[in-house]
C-alpha cells in the first residue's frame, strides 16, 4: 500500500513538472539577448564581470567578444539530475557573446548545466528555455538601461538646451 502511494505521488509530481511550459524568447537566437546603441562592448564586459563575480561565479574564459563563467549548481534537484559517478558536483556555465556591429553592440547569453566538466565526457544540457533564462533576460535589460543612461549623461547638450539651462 505504501509503495503504491509512493509511486502515485512520484507520477503526480512528474506530470506536474512535465506540464510546465518552456520559456520562449522572441529573439533571433532564441536565447536572451539585447542590442545596445553605440560601441559599448568594454562597458558591458566590465558590468557583466562585476555582476557575475558578485554572484559567486568564476571566470573560465574572457576575451573581447566572449565571456564564460562557471559556478557549482546549488539547486538540489538539478544537482541530483546532473551529477554522475565521475563528478558529483555539476556546474552552471553561462556564456556571453558580445558583438559590436556598425554603431550597435549585441549581447547574447547561453545558459548550460554541465556534468563531468572539463573531461572528455562532458555532458551539456541547455537551460536557454528555463526559468533561469528569464532572469538572464531581465539582467540584460537592466544592463542595457544602465549603459544607455550612463552614456546619455555624458552626451553633449545642443545649443538650444544650453541656452535654456543658462537662462535658468
3-class SS of residue 84? coil
Residue 107 reports pLDDT greater than 60: yes
Statement: residue 18 has pLDDT above 70: no
Neighbours of 112 (CB within 10 A): 17
Indicate the pLDDT class of residue 86, thresholds 50, 70 and 90. Answer: confident
How many helical (H) and strand (E) elements, i.e. helices and strands, does the chain have? Answer: 5, 6
What was the pLDDT predicted at 89?
Answer: 82
Angle, CA 137 vertex, CA 136 and CA 142 arms, to 5°: 95
Distance of alpha carbon 134 from alpha carbon 99, whole angstroms: 21
- Tallying the residues shown for the chain, one arrives at 168
Residue-averaged pLDDT of the chain? 80
Segment 51-85, tens digit of pLDDT: 999 999 999 999 999 999 999 988 787 777 777 77
Q: Are 35 and 20 in contact (CB under 8 A)?
A: no
Longest dimension (CA), the chain: 85
- Domains of the chain plus CATH, in order, are 27-149 (3.30.310)
- pLDDT-derived band at 131 (thresholds 50, 70, 90) equals confident
Q: Which three cell numbers stand for residue 151?
A: 552614456
List the grid coordinates of 83: 551529477
Task: Determine contact, residues 105/41, Cβ cutoff 8 Å.
Answer: yes
> Is 112 within 8 Å of 81 (Cβ atoms)?
no
| Phi then psi dihedrals of residue 88, to 5 deg | -85, 0
CA 88 – CA 116 distance, rounded (Å): 8
pLDDT (average), residues 26-42: 84
Amino acid at each position: 500500500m505504501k509503495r503504491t502511494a509512493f509511486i502515485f505521488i512520484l507520477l503526480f509530481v512528474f506530470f506536474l513538472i512535465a506540464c510546465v511550459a518552456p520559456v520562449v524568447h522572441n529573439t533571433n537566437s532564441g536565447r536572451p539577448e539585447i542590442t545596445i546603441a553605440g560601441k559599448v562592448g568594454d562597458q558591458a564586459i566590465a558590468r557583466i564581470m562585476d555582476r557575475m563575480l558578485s554572484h559567486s561565479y568564476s571566470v573560465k574564459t574572457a576575451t573581447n567578444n566572449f565571456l564564460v563563467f562557471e559556478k557549482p549548481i546549488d539547486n538540489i534537484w538539478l544537482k541530483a539530475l546532473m551529477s554522475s559517478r565521475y563528478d558529483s558536483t555539476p556546474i552552471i556555465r553561462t556564456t556571453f557573446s558580445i558583438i559590436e556591429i556598425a554603431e550597435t553592440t549585441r549581447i547574447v547569453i547561453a545558459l548550460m548545466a554541465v556534468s563531468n566538466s572539463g573531461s572528455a565526457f562532458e555532458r551539456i544540457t541547455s537551460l536557454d528555455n528555463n526559468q533561469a533564462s528569464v532572469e538572464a533576460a531581465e539582467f540584460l535589460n537592466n544592463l542595457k538601461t544602465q549603459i544607455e543612461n550612463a552614456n546619455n549623461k555624458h552626451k553633449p547638450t545642443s545649443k538650444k538646451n544650453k541656452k535654456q539651462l543658462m537662462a535658468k
